[in-house]
Chain A
Amino acid sequence: MTDSVLTANDLGRAFGSVVALHSVDFEVPPGRIGLVGANGAGKTTLVKILLGILRPTTGTATVFGDDATSEFLPIRSRVGYMPETDCLPLDMTAADFLIHAAGLAGLPRNAARQRGSDVLTLVGLHEERFRRIGSFSTGMKQRTKLAQAIVGHPDLVFLDEPTAGLDPEGRGDMLDLIARLGGFGINVLVSSHILGDIERTCDWVLMLDGGTVIRSGPLDQLVEADVASVEITGDADAVAAFLRAAGADVDSDGRRLIVTASGADPFLLIRDALAETGAGMLSLGPRATTLEDVFLRQGSSQ
């Protein structure tokens, strides 16, 4: 893939005897990328390697084709970063901090002043721009963190757990903002363990578990609706056996069967099974695969 935003080749990182990343390979196209995994899966380590903050123990990683280890300064001129942890100077106003952050991104003074004001408006903090950050609520601080990450108009922004600590309304606002970034020409990598956030904002998913990549691909291919749920009256075991013989995966919970049919229509298989066994049904419906299903299925098969 020639226009990959991010690549990794046999990428590994260990902290003493603890292996955070192990032989990671991926190629990710432009767009909104979700980096998902449980706490400790290696998400933050991967982001820090891509930013050149950490050096990999093995392998290589690139951002826009530049090596993340040897060419991290040019990379940092093109990316923004919203850390998960506290990172705001509490005794500065939001406006002054944004000007400072824009300067650190390389913008000249006048441009930094203009960009700081524009971006604070974008994240909904224009009215609060002359307040000290120390007096902000958690939601306002998260928006300030996002603002500093995009104030230099990066080509790619890394967002590490952007909805951490937010209430449902604040979380919704933050996800809406993230979803809009793609329209501004900013590629986004959202690192999160909240799979619903990724489903709502991203179009490509990179799934990490235990320091290895377990899935990488377009979101719509991972969560396609190829699953049906049926409640049987009669011999449910016979129906399940017929479906398994036909190549479907069947999870049985008494009379309720969850039928996954890769490459086939699960509803047609269920119709055939009912006709063959003479069983009846109480209910039948689609069950869309969620990222959580994919993650749990992949995790359990590792």
Chain B
Amino acid sequence: MTDSGVVYDLGYKPYEGDKRGRRGAVATTYRDGNYRVLGIKRRARKKILPWALAAFVMVPAVVFVGFAFLLSTFAPEADSPFGSHADYFELTGTIVLLFVALAAPELLIPDRREGVLSIYSSRPLLPDDYVLARFGSLLTVAAGFMLIPQVLMYFGFAALDADGFFSALWSNGGAIPRILAATAVYAIAYTPLALLIATVANRKSAATGVYLGTLLIGTILSAALVEATTMPGRRYTAMLAFGELPTHVNDWIWGTSSSEPTPMAMAGFDAWVSLLVIGAVAVIATLIVVWRYRRLL
């Protein structure tokens, strides 16, 4: 050990590796979007709501599987009283709606208000790339909220099945495409409209309020008009209940009917009409968001 030290100026080390260009910029924007909506790498208070909602979608599934385990242990002949996949989508659909209402403004508004868009506009990234990466982030996390508890229930119930794990997986295999389809319908129904409102709003709380208010008022209005009036063409006002459209499609996917009939069902529409409205709104909302960001970026 010497009694005098030497300070080395390591200087500047240039980066000489590969650059991934547009592909890397899109992947980074997508990853940042996932972090942002879940509050990861953000202050603690931004983590509270997304993770509380994540717990709300997961805990019932864990409880259902746990009770099913107890039932299979102590009363194997009894019928299971626990919720089906279809019922669980109705439960998680409402929670995902709340999550999307909170996450969409968080995803878009700070970048605009804090001027961060000027950083994106100087990187190898097109405005469409930015919008689709953000859209993809919200869609992925919202779909995850729906899918993960369903997967837990699927494997959990299979593990407890009297016929054995693999046999149960095989016999219930028809549920897998239905789970995927229902997940896609809920996620695609809820996210584009929320992003559209977040695109034009300047405050996060206002965007959340307008989104939830629009869906709530639409549902109340359509139920009232479909049921309580005799005006011609009133059945078409059922389409105003946009928040209920995925439930209508979910009932069709699983061949069930929800505890309370949706306005679209009350008006006598087939599920494909709801699916069409969901798709049309998703396309139009996405195009408007892209158009707006082409002017901003």
Interface: A53 (CB within 8 A):
yes
- Whether B203 sits at the interface, judged by CB under 8 Å, is no
A104 within 8 A of B: yes
A167 on the B face (CB < 8 A): no
A77 touches B42 (CB 8 A): no
B74 within 8 A of A: no
Query: Of A79-87, A237-245, A264-272, A287-295, which binds chain B?
Result: A79-87
* Interface assignment of A115: CB less than 8 Å from any CB of chain B: yes
Nearest Cβ in chain B — how far from A298, in angstroms?
30
Q: Which residue of chain B lies nearest to A184 when distances are taken between CB atoms in the complex?
A: B12
Answer yes or no: A96 CB below 8 A from chain B CBs. Answer: yes
Whether, in the assembled complex, A100 has its beta carbon less than 8 Å from a beta carbon of chain B, the answer is yes
Tell me which residues across on chain A come within 8 A of B25, comparing CB atoms: 103-106
In the complex where A73-B124, A122-B12 touch, is A87 in contact with B116 (Cβ < 8 A)?
Answer: yes
Q: Which residues of chain A in 156-174 are interfacial with respect to chain B, using CB atoms and an 8 Å cutoff?
A: 158
Given known A51-B122, A89-B114, contact A108–B14 (CB-CB < 8 A)? no
Cα of A106 to Cα of B121 in the assembled complex, Å: 14
Query: Which of B26-34, B86-94, B136-144 is the interface stretch?
Result: B26-34
A104 near B13 with CB under 8 A, answer no
Smallest distance from the beta carbon of A277 to chain B beta carbons, Å? 59
User: Counting CB contacts under 8 A, is A132 at the interface?
Assistant: yes
- Say whether A91 contacts B121, CB under 8 Å: no
* Contact residues, A132-178 vs B (CB, 8 A): 132, 148, 152-153, 158
Determine the distance from Cα of A251 to Cα of B38 in the docked complex, in whole angstroms: 68
Main secondary structure on A side of the interface with B: mixed
Query: Known contacts A91-B43, A104-B125, A106-B24; is A111 also within 8 Å of B116 by CB?
Result: no
A106 & B118 in contact (Cβ 8 Å cutoff): no
Q: Shortest Cβ distance from A158 into chain B, in angstroms?
A: 8
Query: Residues of B within 8 Å of A, CB-based: how many?
Result: 37
Binary A-proximity of B118-135 (CB < 8 A = 1, otherwise 0)? 111111111000000000
Closest A residue to B117 by beta carbon equals A87
- Bin the interface of chain A by size: 35 or more
Bound-state Cα–Cα, A133 to B55, Å = 30
**Residues A83 and B118 in contact, CB atoms below 8 Å apart:** yes
- Tell me whether A76 and B123 are in contact in the complex, defined as CB-CB below 8 angstroms, given that A87-B118, A105-B19, A118-B13 are known contacts: yes
| Inter-chain contacts of A91 with B (CB < 8 A) | 42-43, 46, 110
Contact of A185 with B14 in the complex, beta carbons under 8 Å: yes
In the bound complex, what is the Cα–Cα distance between A182 and B16 (angstroms)? Answer: 17
Chain B residues with CB under 8 Å of A115's CB are 15
Chain B CB within 8 A of A189 CB: no
Q: Is the CB of B43 within 8 A of A106?
A: no
**Taking the complex as formed, is A90 at the interface, i.e. its CB lies under 8 A from any CB of chain B?**
yes
A88 part of interface (Cβ distance < 8 Å): yes
Decide: A184 and B19 in contact? CB cutoff 8 A: no
Would A107 and B24 count as touching, CB distance under 8 A? yes
Query: CA A88 – CA B117 in complex, angstroms?
Result: 9
Which of B14, B18, B20, B28 contacts A100 (CB under 8 A)? Answer: B28
- Asked if B81 is an interface residue, CB under 8 A from chain A, the answer is no
Contacts from B to A (Cβ < 8 Å): 12-22, 24-25, 27-29, 31-32, 41-43, 46, 110-111, 114-116, 118-126, 297
